[in-house]
Amino acid sequence: MYQRRDFYRHARYVHGWLSAFAFITLLFFSVTGLLLNHPEWFEPAKNEATSTLVLPDTVLKSIKQQENPSDTILNYVRQQQTVVGRYQSSEVMDNEVMIRLESPAGSTDIFVSTDTGDTEITQNPASTVSLLNDLHRGKNSGLAWSWLIDISAIIFIVLSLAGYILFLSIKTRLVTHLVLTAISLAMIILLIWSAV
């Protein structure tokens, strides 16, 4: 008897302790999930901007001696101007280097001619809605945000299980609660079946 009471008391504590963090993150992922589900509600961002610069001879000479000079080019470009995104990929073809930067804040493409040093930088900053959507998906968001998504998911699972245990602990309504559980499960399976 005491063990059961202790078990339910601990379930209430877990549910209470995790609720504040879960409320904030669940609200964030619910709102951004709604935005993801309705992209037609907002105009896509059209903020693309292109700028040019010429690499100095010292940098040009240095990159000609490297198999993949992306880091050297990127370091120089970042010294000259602010660019959006983190390094995603690069490609060296003939006398041209292409670098792609991406983050939830937007993307940048850098094209460099290793013959002349001519550099074209095209930036496409994200709108507020696309920024939130990319954070929701965890797209190009970095390790810290990926950890937040994983931790949030684990907390939601623990919180849901603790809440469900409390839900089932009311003996006078156990049959009703089990029926509601079965109906909810059947509805979700039916919706999954209709979606695929």
Whether residue 32 is found in the same domain as residue 64: no
Q: Given 72, 98, 126, which residue is the final one in a domain? A: 126
- CATH code for the domain of 57: 3.30.160
Whether residue 20 is found in the same domain as residue 84: no
Residue 45's pLDDT is 61
Q: Given 103, 126, 149, which residue is the final one in a domain? A: 126
pLDDT in tens, 166-185: 777 777 777 887 888 788 88
Q: Domain for residue 195, yes or no?
A: no
The two tokens of residue 154 are 């684990």
Whether residue 62 is found in the same domain as residue 114: yes
Query: What mean pLDDT is predicted for residues 48-64?
Result: 88
Give 23 or 83, the one with higher predicted confidence.
83
> What DSSP letter does each residue of 60-87 carry, written as one string?
HHHHHT-SS-HHHHHHHHHHHS---SEE
Q: Domain for residue 132, yes or no?
A: no
Residue 15's pLDDT is 65
Q: Which of 160, 196, 195 is nearest to 181 (CA)?
A: 160
The domain in which residue 167 lies consists of: 2-42+137-189
The answer to whether residue 59 scores a pLDDT higher than 70 is yes
Q: In whole numbers, what is the pLDDT of the chain averaged over residues?
A: 82
Give 120's pLDDT tier (boundaries 50, 70, 90). Answer: very high
Residue 111's pLDDT is 95
Residue 61's pLDDT is 87
Give 135 or 98, the one with higher predicted confidence.
98
Rounded-to-integer distance, Cα 29 and Cα 35, Å: 10
Question: How many domains, the chain?
Answer: 2
Give 65 or 170, the one with higher predicted confidence.
65
CA distances to 26, 32, 163, 172 from 15, rounded to whole Å, are: 14, 24, 6, 22
The answer to whether residue 2 scores a pLDDT higher than 60 is no
CA distances to 12, 43, 144 from 24, rounded to whole Å, are: 19, 27, 17
Whether residue 111 is found in the same domain as residue 177: no
Q: Domain for residue 194, yes or no?
A: no
pTM of the model: 0.65
